[in-house]
Structure 1
Amino acid sequence: MIPTAQKVVPNAHDVTDHVTLDYDARFLRRKMLKTQSGLEVLVDLPKTTSLMDGDALETNDGLRIGICAAPEPLLEITGQGLHRIAWHIGNRHTPCQIEDTRLFIQQNHVMAQMLAQLGAHVRAVTLPFTPEGGAYGHGRTHGHDHGAQHGPDTAHSHEH
């Protein structure tokens, strides 16, 4: 019988096995995963969940499968005025990993061009991606359309 994981344990210890997933694959509800040891585990969470590096999936038989962030193609952003650059990234609802002297986003040639025009130094790297979670306790930022309902003179809130 295939073990079923229906619970996420944040910052888990005492894991039995590991699974390595990129940022997009760590956003899931129901999926079959294969661990590093070759064990197949059915993930069947009550709702779509953003898993973080260091979390674990707990199976019905008590196994804890640790989540590892996989290296993936990113853009490393450095330079003067990182706070201003971070604002422009956030204004586009782009997931961003924030460190003291650099930012990381998923590779995107349009964003790379915009950031270079803002004076940022941008270079391609391959690293695990662990961006900031969304506001208000949500694990992901989700793009949304400001559309015609919000004209240029119409204020609106992103609060939920």
Structure 2
Amino acid sequence: MVIETVISNITEMKSEEIEKRHVEKVYLESAHLVKRIQRVKTDHGREMGIHLKEARDLIAGDVLYMDDESLIVIDVIADDLLLISPRDFKEMGTIAHQLGNRHLPAQFEDHEMLVQYDYLVEELLQDLQIPYTRENRKVNQAFRHIGHSHG
């Protein structure tokens, strides 16, 4: 089976539509969410190819296949993350500037900045005394580098 389009996202479906179907999951690392072409296997051992026609990233909950009895849905494997919690605007600006200079992709949830774990970033946060925690957590979308050059 080759998947060429994402049907929907499970978050947009009615619960009764989900409950009446057997749900299989394709577990991906967050870095693989940006791949339009890949070979995957569901948690029930079904192999399939993904070859998206549309230029888009996959996100957690994307429905790859659906019939009257089953759904195949994308789920994301937890990443090793640093959850940065600046106490004020100055700390936020300082860490954003430092991470931006390193071209590190970040995501934001509530009042936290999420970056993939890096021991150098952890040392930087300790040196700057900016509060953070390290946690394994699922993200809904890939950490995406923003195209940029110092020209």
Normalised to the residue count of structure 1, the TM-score between the two structures is 0.68
Percentage identity across paired residues of the two chains: 26
d(CA) in 1 for partners of 2:142 and 2:29? 15
Corresponding residue to 1:116 among 126, 131, 136: 126
d(CA) in 1 for partners of 2:139 and 2:100? 16
Corresponding residue to 2:82 among 75, 89, 104: 75
Letter in 2 for 1:7: T
* Superposition RMSD in Å: 3.0
Task: Report the alpha carbon displacement of residue 77 of structure 1 after superposing the two structures with TM.
Answer: 1.3
Task: Report the alpha carbon displacement of residue 49 of structure 1 after superposing the two structures with TM.
Answer: 3.5
Task: Report the alpha carbon displacement of residue 130 of structure 1 after superposing the two structures with TM.
Answer: 3.3
Corresponding residue to 2:93 among 84, 92, 103: 84
1:31 lines up with 2:35 in the alignment: no
Higher share of residues assigned helix? 2
Report the counterpart of residue 142 of structure 1 in structure 2: 146
Report the counterpart of residue 40 of structure 1 in structure 2: 47
The DSSP-based 3-state class of the residue aligned with 2:87 is: coil
Aligned residues: 138
The DSSP-based 3-state class of the residue aligned with 2:5 is: strand
Superimposed CA distance per residue, residues 105-140 of structure 1 (whole angstroms, 9 cap, x where no aligned partner): 10112222333333312332111123588xxxxxx3
d(CA) in 1 for partners of 2:130 and 2:92? 11
d(CA) in 2 for partners of 1:106 and 1:51? 18
Question: 1 or 2 for the larger relative contact order (CA 8 Å, sep ≥6)?
Answer: 2
Unaligned residue ranges in structure 2 (runs of 5+): none
Unaligned residue ranges in structure 1 (runs of 5+): 134-139, 150-160
Letter in 1 for 2:40: L
Superimposed CA distance per residue, residues 50-87 of structure 1 (whole angstroms, 9 cap, x where no aligned partner): 2111112248xxx7521112112111212312642563
Task: Report the alpha carbon displacement of residue 37 of structure 1 after superposing the two structures with TM.
Answer: 1.2
CA contact (8 A) 1:19 1:34 kept: yes
How do residues 16-27 of structure 1 correspond to structure 2 at under 5 angstroms?
Answer: 16-27=23-34
